[in-house]
Structure formats: structure tokens, C-alpha cells
Structure 1
Amino acid sequence: MDWVKIVYSVILLVCGILIFVAPFSQKGDERRNFIKTKAQSYAFIVVIGMLLLEVGESIYLTIQGNTSYNSNENSPIVLLTVISIIYLATLIFYRKKYGD
């Protein structure tokens, strides 16, 4: 494996852990929990939508009889990156919106 991919994976893993663990270290009120819950639910909806599109594409190409279809599944690193970016963006958005 290329060393750049290893470094990128480690950096992504550390950032992901910090993003998901940092809010739990702070004792907060109900508003903070509400903001985290909204950001998590939005990120979950986007991930489910991405996976549904992938399944739909696979079904469509199978019905069309495309036998040369090589399932271009999303890489786990790409999926984790997208989830982390969406969660961080929505967390920042809701923090500004609800004032935390």
C-alpha cells in the first residue's frame, strides 16, 4: 500500500475520532444535545441516500442486461470522508443557527 494512502487514512481516522468524541467530553445542556442530534440525523439521511442510489444503479444496470457492469462500490475511505464532512458542516450550521 502506498505510504500516502496510509498517512491519509491515519489522518482521516484521527480527525473522525476527534469529531465524534469531542462533543461527548463536554457536559452540555439540552440545546447542545439537540444540535448534535440534528447534525447526526442529517448525516445519516445523506449516507442512506447515497447507499440507496448505489443499490438503484446496480438494479437498473442488472435489469438492462449490462453483464459487463463492474460494481463500482464506494470506497470505505471515501464514504467515511463524506460522512465526516457532512457531519462537520451540519454541526457548524446548526451551532450557528441555534447559538451554541
Structure 2
Amino acid sequence: MMDFGLMMFILFILGIVSLDVSMVVSLIKKNDERQQMIIWKASTYTLLIVVLTLIGDVLRNLFSNSYTGTNPLTFLTVVAIIYFITLLYYKKKYGN
């Protein structure tokens, strides 16, 4: 029998993977103009957050004596979460 912690970790990883796949699918899927505008707004806000985070990371590494890289899995997870939160916000705001 699996340990409870291992089971929760597997569920967490599956949730992350499903968020990432859903993000890519929502960007590729053909939609009407209103739905496309909602996706563009969510994507723009997410891109803004990503760029600001990367600028902050560069500045932090520039002014510190050691390199502290960003974990790509963590970064992708945060991007997916921000994207879906903003997507839900704009869907509620513009109706869907």
C-alpha cells in the first residue's frame, strides 16, 4: 500500500501536468472573438507577471554574489496558476 504522502505528491504532480496541458490547449483552441479577447487578456497579464518575475530574478542575481536559478517546474506551475486565475477572472468579467 502506498504511503499517504506519496499519494498526495502524485496527485499534486498530476494536477500540475493537467494545468499545464489545459493552458496550452486553451491557447490553441479556436474560439469566437469574445472568447479570444478573454484569452488574450489573460495571456497578456500572465506575460506581464512572467517578465516582471524574470527581471526581478536577473536583478537579484546581478546584485548578489551567488547565482540562484529558478526551478523551471516551479516557474511553469506558477505561470499556469496565474494564467488560470486571470482567465477565470476575465471569463467572469466578460461573461462566458
How far apart are the structure 2 equivalents of 1:77 and 1:92?
23
Determine the structure 1 residue equivalent to 2:38.
Answer: 35
TM-score (norm 1): 0.75
Determine the structure 2 residue equivalent to 1:48.
Answer: 51
Task: Kindly state the Cα deviation for residue 72 of structure 1 after the two structures are TM-superposed.
Answer: 1.6
* Number of residue pairs the alignment of both structures matches: 89
CA contact (8 A) 1:16 1:84 kept: yes
Deviations 1:59-86 (A, max 9, x none): 122xxxx3xx2x2211001100110000
What is the root-mean-square deviation in Å for CA atoms of aligned residues?
2.1
Q: Which runs of 5+ in 2 are unaligned?
A: 1-5
Deviation beyond 6 Å, 4+ runs, structure 1: none
Deviations 1:35-61 (A, max 9, x none): 000001111110111100011111122
CA contact (8 A) 2:19 2:81 kept: no
How far apart are the structure 2 equivalents of 1:56 and 1:95?
34
Quick check: which has more Rg, 1 or 2?
Answer: 1
CA contact (8 A) 1:35 1:98 kept: yes
How far apart are the structure 1 equivalents of 2:69 and 2:86?
25
Q: Which runs of 5+ in 1 are unaligned?
A: none
Task: Kindly state the Cα deviation for residue 24 of structure 1 after the two structures are TM-superposed.
Answer: 4.1
Task: Kindly state the Cα deviation for residue 22 of structure 1 after the two structures are TM-superposed.
Answer: 4.0
Please say if 1:84 is aligned against 2:80: yes
Percent identity reads: 30
Letter aligned with residue 21 of structure 1: V
